[in-house]
Amino acid sequence: MAYRIPHALSPAAEPLDLGAGSNEPEPRPGSGGTRRAAAPPRRTRVSGLHLTAGAVVEAGRLLWWTAYYTMRWGLDRVSRSGGPDPRLRLATLLRGYLLRMGPLYMKAGQVLGTQSGLLSAEAAEEFRSFFAGLPPMSEPALRRTVDRGLPVPVAEAFASFAWQPVAVGSVAQVHRGVLADGTDVAVKIVKSGVRQRLEASTRALGTFLAAVHALCPPLRPYDLPGHFAELRPLLVGQCDMRQEAARQNEVARNFRGHPFLHVPRTYDHLCTDDVLVMEYVDGVPGMDPGQAGHPGPDLARRLQDVFYSMVFFHGRFHVDPHPGNILFRPGGQIVLLDFGLVGTLSVDDKWNLSSFYYACIRGQWQTATERFVRTFVANPERLVPHHEEYAEKLAAILRHHFQVQTSRWSTMEFFDDATRLLHGYGARASTRFSLLSLSLLTGEGFVTQTDPDINLYDNARRFTDLFSPYMSEAVREKFEHEIGGLSPRSMAARRDAAGYLVAPTHLDRYGLPSAFPLVITKATGAHIHDLDGNEYVDLSCGYGPHILGYAHPGTSRAIQEAVTRGSVNALGNPAELRLAELIAEAFGTGTKVILGNSGTEAVQMALRMARAYTGRQRVAKFEGHYHGFSDQSLVSSLFRYSGDAQSPNPVANSAGMQRTVVDETLVLQYGDPASLDRIAAHAGTLACVILEPMPVTTAAFDRSFLQQLQEVCARENILVIYDEVITGFRVRYGGAQHLADVTPDLTCLGKIIGGGLPCGAVAGRPDVIDIARTTGDPYLDIDTRAFVGGTMSGNSVTAAAGAAVLAHLKSHPGIYDELQRKTEWLAQELTTHAATSAIPCNVAAAHSIFSITFDHATPLLIRDRLAGSNFKANLALSYYMRKHGIYVPELHTMMLSAAHTAEDLQHVSRAFAHSIEEMKDDGFFTTY
């Protein structure tokens, strides 16, 4: 039995007037074939505020029942003589009051039902009936609603339908049914009259709050009407089953493949405004975790993990995670139900929230204080005059909750203390964070009911530890000993160098520095040797250039000869001509080339040329695509994203970036047709669109999207620039464009074309590249030509190395097939090992490029891949693999070269199998 209606509140016990009769719902347009259009609500003017007739009735009801129950409470206090506990009597009265007041107020009852810590057990029990045991609508009203609400007659939709509900909530009731094909379904039906009552009572409450705001100056800092205005659409939106089905599907997608959380699938062809038909899932109601047949502590920890995943990863959280909305199944499976109220955190909120928590966990109180204001405060300007005093008091609150009293952790108490402080300065928390605190209040209450001994803070720490980039103390110690012990000289060299060198790509890697960077003394083929005499099979290929392996004989010879003849730069040399010729030829007849010194430089050159060529200023790029470290390239690039997924806001990924450049960048989503519309909408100002045609994080390309992008841009005279700095000459002779069979206007190259020495190039349409060719007239050049040269561009040594590599690749086309075969083999091995060890792992691999994410889901967007992925596992994998003699670049894409032998790959495969088993034992993938 999945749901149960507690006897004390079975329908007969307390019939509730939900508006049958005068309040009977008017049919609404568009929600069923035979509906009449709704009559516009009558409006009344009360004290300067517009109220509908329904809201006036609700306001009357509010006043009447509030007065009535206050009086009963007063009488009860006066006549108190023995009998049940007074707090229990108050709870009974309050329950009656909330029931009378209707669906809006019943939510409060549901929250109270989870608060056994706050209320006595009996008092909390009073409110537990709000979870699923509220009065249903009358049978005639039910029949009318079902008749009207379904897109087809009941008999057509279902082979059988039970008119007796299995659960009744504040807004809807749930029935069982069987579809024509024999599928068991749960049918959620909005109770008749509820929509009107929610509309009216939220309007009445809004008016009441506006009046209180106007009449009570001390309450104004709380901005109750403002908060409520933001909440109202959410509350009223609970009655729209079509929207709810969409929310349910979104949450289901976020948890797809999750080891213990299930969201029932919906049958959308039967869903309408009033009816939601979904898969019927049997289970033990959340109210009875004892019946779940799984240890309570595990269930409680799992629940907390689920709630935290929704908040921190998905940014779509259940506002109402009370026991009535959750089922337990054998094996500790959890089923999440009822997506009437789902809160949203934007990608910026998530970033701010995580950065705030991490500062707290690391005891950085000043940083945490600044992040708290950025994250939670709706009107931070109010705090400015009292900044120091406020910061000190907030730091004390943070210290108290995050350091002193962790064994009694309560998010709600923390929010409470912090918001009280805010109010003292006339500031307030933003509404979405009030919603978040409501969700956590309910969720943590439920978790504690499931296991009264749970230490919420410890479990939260375990969760954040698992997904934070920082290693826990225990793991750090282990690594110090095991990995640090392997490479003491590299470690010492790094320590010494810190006094005179900053190396952001390796020794001091930006953002997430390596705990154990290596100092390499020798590299040959697919092997590298460090200062300590360790030898590793290398999976970095130096971030890409070494497709033939390190110290490839042909390349080394070319470099030696070039150096012996004298390194020539800032003068023409034959090697430069040869390299340009090889590149031009690889990209098709007529292609012209311009040489530079790095991938970053190639991109900078291409963007400048595009602006000069089109006479337009703005650049469009794709979220998560990396194009080097120039200002424009680092917009929404590696780690940090902002705004809606379909129309992201540009955001700097480094300090010191020029704000005007950031603001002038249009950020798009790869593969999303909306991006094409946005390009067209900005056509008048866009010089170019730059992208990784085959983003390395996914190791895949979307041919049809690339073709459409080409069409839109050609139509609007916008240049398309492919950044093939990694993929160029790696995935095929030429680049990903040859695999996809799409030709851009310009292609940026780097890495491989320098044969292991610094190099970059732009290849492409001759008329565009010619924008960098002098006119012979300095005055004209300055107005019409792009200047993009450098001292070392086309130098003889780099060019000789690059030309040697390209010539070798050209004459050995089998290398690419061989690389693809090796990639497929290794990807399959890694996937199989992960499956055998039952760890959540995705391997994205193609044409020698590998990317591993430790996540149960396979998100499409780069921003989502980063959100739910276990970063720390990536970092740790690198160290575990090192113990087995493999060098995996931490967080960077892995790559194979022609020098990797079958034996090397078998070594990698075995090392991976051992590493993930060890990581599993060390708790890196702990899921309860």
Contact status: 726 vs ligand PMP (CB under 6 A): yes
Contact status: 621 vs ligand PMP (CB under 6 A): no
Contact status: 623 vs ligand PMP (CB under 6 A): no
Whole-number Å distance between alpha carbons of 910 and 244: 47
Whole-number Å distance between alpha carbons of 60 and 45: 15
Among 626, 854, 871, 928, binds ligand PMP (CB under 6 A): 626
Only one of the segments 335-343, 386-394, 680-688, 723-731 lies at the binding site for ligand PMP (rule: CB under 6 A); that segment is 723-731
Among 728, 750, 868, 889, binds ligand PMP (CB under 6 A): 750
* DSSP assigned state of 174: E
Q: What angle do CA 313, 317, 321 make, to 5 degrees?
A: 130
* Amino acid residing at 757: L
| Length in residues, the chain | 928
Only one of the segments 165-173, 596-604, 659-667, 916-924 lies at the binding site for ligand PMP (rule: CB under 6 A); that segment is 596-604
Contact status: 543 vs ligand PMP (CB under 6 A): yes
743-752 burial, b for 16+ CB within 10 Å, e for fewer?
Answer: bbbbbbbbbb
Q: How many residues bind ligand PMP (CB under 6 A)?
A: 13
Cβ proximity to ligand PMP: between 692 and 864 the closer is 692
Q: Are 500 and 493 in contact (CB under 8 A)?
A: no
Q: Of 724, 661, 713, give the one whose Cα is nearest residue 689.
A: 713
Cβ proximity to ligand PMP: between 10 and 569 the closer is 569
Only one of the segments 123-131, 236-244, 390-398, 722-730 lies at the binding site for ligand PMP (rule: CB under 6 A); that segment is 722-730
Only one of the segments 255-263, 298-306, 434-442, 599-607 lies at the binding site for ligand PMP (rule: CB under 6 A); that segment is 599-607
Burial class of residue 631, CB neighbours in 10 A (0-12, 13-18, 19+): middle
Smallest gap, in angstroms, from Cβ of residue 246 to ligand PMP? 35
3-state secondary structure of 17: coil
Cβ proximity to ligand PMP: between 555 and 915 the closer is 555
Cβ proximity to ligand PMP: between 369 and 823 the closer is 823
Contact status: 737 vs ligand PMP (CB under 6 A): no
Compute φ and ψ for 630, nearest 5 degrees.
-70, 165
Concatenated DSSP letters of 616-657 = --EEEEETT----SSTTTTBT-SS---B-SSSBPP-BSSTT-
Among 240, 273, 465, 723, binds ligand PMP (CB under 6 A): 723
Cβ proximity to ligand PMP: between 273 and 723 the closer is 723
Only one of the segments 251-259, 307-315, 399-407, 594-602 lies at the binding site for ligand PMP (rule: CB under 6 A); that segment is 594-602
Among 148, 247, 616, 627, binds ligand PMP (CB under 6 A): 627
Whole-number Å distance between alpha carbons of 456 and 435: 20
Whole-number Å distance between alpha carbons of 222 and 429: 9
Only one of the segments 244-252, 525-533, 620-628, 910-918 lies at the binding site for ligand PMP (rule: CB under 6 A); that segment is 620-628
Smallest gap, in angstroms, from Cβ of residue 894 to ligand PMP? 13
Contact status: 692 vs ligand PMP (CB under 6 A): yes
Contact status: 315 vs ligand PMP (CB under 6 A): no
Only one of the segments 105-113, 326-334, 337-345, 719-727 lies at the binding site for ligand PMP (rule: CB under 6 A); that segment is 719-727
Only one of the segments 147-155, 390-398, 592-600, 898-906 lies at the binding site for ligand PMP (rule: CB under 6 A); that segment is 592-600
Q: Are 693 and 706 in contact (CB under 8 A)?
A: yes
Concatenated DSSP letters of 431-486 = HHHHHHHHHHHHHHHHHHHH-TT--HHHHHHHHHHHHSSSPPHHHHHHHIIIIITT
Distance of CA 234 to the CA centre of its chain: 22
- Residues 490-529: x where in contact with ligand PMP by CB under 6 A, - otherwise, as a string: ----------------------------------------
Contact status: 600 vs ligand PMP (CB under 6 A): yes
Q: Residue with the closest Cβ to ligand PMP?
A: 599
**What does the block give as tokens for 887?**
């060098």
**What does the block give as tokens for 867?**
């959100």
Concatenated DSSP letters of 886-905 = EE--SSSPEE--TT--HHHH
Cβ proximity to ligand PMP: between 628 and 802 the closer is 628
Residues between 337 and 396 that touch ligand PMP (CB under 6 A)? none
Contact status: 909 vs ligand PMP (CB under 6 A): no
- Residues 752-791: x where in contact with ligand PMP by CB under 6 A, - otherwise, as a string: ----------------------------------------
Work out the number of other CB atoms within 10 angstroms of the CB of residue 151. 14
Torsion angle of C-alpha atoms 537, 543, 547, 552, degrees rounded to 10: -70
Among 272, 598, 649, 747, binds ligand PMP (CB under 6 A): 598
Parallel, antiparallel, or unpaired for β 746-750 and 719-723? parallel
Smallest gap, in angstroms, from Cβ of residue 635 to ligand PMP? 13
Only one of the segments 35-43, 246-254, 624-632, 664-672 lies at the binding site for ligand PMP (rule: CB under 6 A); that segment is 624-632
Only one of the segments 103-111, 417-425, 528-536, 621-629 lies at the binding site for ligand PMP (rule: CB under 6 A); that segment is 621-629
3-state secondary structure of 7: helix
Beta bridge partners of 746: 721, 764
Cβ proximity to ligand PMP: between 126 and 723 the closer is 723
Smallest gap, in angstroms, from Cβ of residue 812 to ligand PMP? 24
3-state secondary structure of 212: helix
Cβ proximity to ligand PMP: between 58 and 692 the closer is 692
* Torsion sign over Cα 472, 478, 480, 482: negative
Q: Of 810, 807, 811, 801, give the one whose Cα is nearest residue 575.
A: 801
Whole-number Å distance between alpha carbons of 404 and 386: 26
Q: Which residues bind ligand PMP (CB under 6 A)?
A: 543, 598-600, 603, 626-628, 692, 723, 725-726, 750
